[in-house]
Amino acid sequence: MISKGHKKHTDLTRPSFGNFNRNEWALVGGKCDAIKLLASDIIKVLSSAYKCAYADTSHNDDISLLPGRLASGAVLEYTDQVNYNQLNYQAEFNAFKLRETFSGTDLVLVNGNHQQARAQVVIICERKKASLQKRVEQLTNVQMILLADDADDIFPFIKDSIPNWQELPLYRMNETEKIISFFQNKMQQAKSVLNGLVLAGGKSERMGFDKGAINLNGKEQRYHVADLLKSFCNKVYISCRQEQQKDIDAQYSSLPDTFTGLGPFGAILSAFREKPDNAWLVVACDLPLLDEQTFLHLTSNRNVATIATAYQSTFDGFPEPLVTIWEPKSYPVLLSFLSQGYSCPRKVLINSEITLLNSPNPYDLTNMNTPEELEKIKLILNQKIAAQ
C-alpha cells in the first residue's frame, strides 16, 4: 500500500511546450492552399532571424505507398540530398517525439485544419465555415483573426466562443505586412529571460585551494563575477556542490548541482533542470580578467536562433563554453550528448550550430588553474592598477 504523501516520480519543472514547440500557432479556418501560402510568406521573412518550421497533413486521399527502403521494412531512411537532408520515418510520432523533433526550432506554424497548436490564428472563410465550426473547441488561445476574400464579418459562433474577440488584431488575409509584423512582435516578446550562472563548484585540485574564494578584485571571485553579471541578467545564481551551499553568502542565490560528477556540464544541466525556459549566461569563477565590456559585447550579440552564443578562445581557436549564453533549446542537445557518453560542453559547441564571437579583449578569457597562473594574473592586475 502506498501512502497518500508518497510520490512515485520526482517533480520536475517542465518546459512550456505545446504540441510541437514553445512558440507555435495553428492557422485554422481557411482553405489549405491559402494557409500554406500565408505560412510561406511569414517564414520567408522570419527565417532570417529565427529557425522556422511548418506542420501539415497530407491531402492525398489515395493509399500512400511507403517511400524507399521503408517499403522493405526499414523504420527510417536518411538521404543526403546535397542541398538538403531528408529523413523518412515509419514510426508513429506521438507528442513526445514531435517535441523532440521540433526542439531546435524557434517558431512552428501549423495547418490548424489538421493539426492543433497551443495558440491559434482564426481565418474567417465562408467556404470553410462548417469546417471551422467543428473545431470551435480547439480555439483555446486565439491571438489574431483574419478575413478571407469571401468574408465580410466574423462568424457569430466565433464571437460566442472567443470572449475577447473585439480586443484581437483583425486583418484581411492580403494584409501580409501587418500579419508578419504580428509574428515578429510575438517572437520578440518570446525571447527567453537570461539568467546568470557562476560556476564555483569545482574542487580546485590543481590550485590546491578553492578558486572561487580567491580575492583579487576586492571580494571573492565567485561574488565578483556574480556582481558583474547582475547588470546583464534577470537573476544570478552561484553554482556549487551540495555540501558547498552552506558556505555561500546569503546575499547571493545558490544553485547546487543535481547532475553530479559531471563538472561544468552537470552545472549547466542543473540550471536548465531548475528553469528550462530560461537562457543561461554561464561563467566560470576562475576568469578574473573579465569585465563589463566582455558581457556587454556577448549579450548585445546574443543570437536566439542558435543554441548558444560563445566567444572563440584566443588560445586554441575553439569555442569557450564557460563564457557562453546557452539558449533553452540547448538543453535537449546537452542531454543528447550525455546519452551518447559525452560530458564536455565544448564538444557540444563544436558540433552544434552556434554564434561565435571574438572577445573585445584578448586577455578576458585567461583563467587560473595553478598557483603559477594565479601569480601571473596578480601581476597583470597590478599592472592595470598602476596604469590607471
Domains annotated for the chain, with CATH where assigned, are 24-57+68-189 (3.40.50.300), 194-387 (3.90.550.10)
The amino acid sitting at 215 is N
Residue 209, pLDDT score:
43
For residues 187 and 107, give the distance between their C-alpha atoms in angstroms, rounded to a whole number: 8
Integer Cα distance of 223 and 378 in angstroms: 18
Mean pLDDT of the chain: 90
SS3 of 255, please?
A: strand
302 DSSP 8-state letter: -
Report the relative pairing of strands 170-172 and 85-89 from DSSP bridges. unpaired
How confident is the model at residue 61, as a pLDDT? 58
Distance CA 34, CA 25 (A): 15
Residue pair 307/236 in contact by the 8 Å Cβ criterion: no
| pLDDT given for residue 180 in this prediction | 98
Task: Report how far residue 313's alpha carbon sits from residue 319's, in angstroms, rounded to the nearest whole number.
Answer: 6
Residues whose CB falls within 8 Å of the CB of residue 231, separated by 6 or more in sequence, listed in order: 292, 295
pLDDT in tens, 62-105: 557 788 888 888 888 999 998 989 888 888 888 899 999 999 99
CA 135/CA 112 separation, integer angstroms: 9
Please tell me the pTM assigned to this model: 0.91
Q: What is the pLDDT of residues 135-177, one digit of tens each?
A: 999 999 999 999 999 999 999 999 999 999 999 999 999 999 9
Of residues 135, 109, 105, the one with CA closest to residue 34: 109
* DSSP secondary structure, 49-99, as one string: TS-EEEE------SPPPPPGGGGGT-SEEEEE-SSSEEEEE-S---HHHHH
- The answer to whether residue 58 scores a pLDDT higher than 70 is yes
Query: What pLDDT score was predicted for residue 332?
Result: 97
pLDDT of 177-234, one tens digit each?
999 999 999 999 999 999 999 999 765 555 544 666 567 777 888 999 999 999 999 9
What's the rounded mean pLDDT across residues 115-129? 96
Q: List b or e across 262-277, with b for residues whose CB sees 16 or more CB atoms inside 10 angstroms.
A: bbbbbbbbbbbbbbbb
The residue ranking higher by pLDDT, 65 or 26, is 26
Of 196-205, 234-243, 350-359, the poorest mean pLDDT is in 196-205
∠ CA 91-94-97, rounded to 5°:
80
- pLDDT > 90 fraction of the chain, expressed in percent and rounded: 70
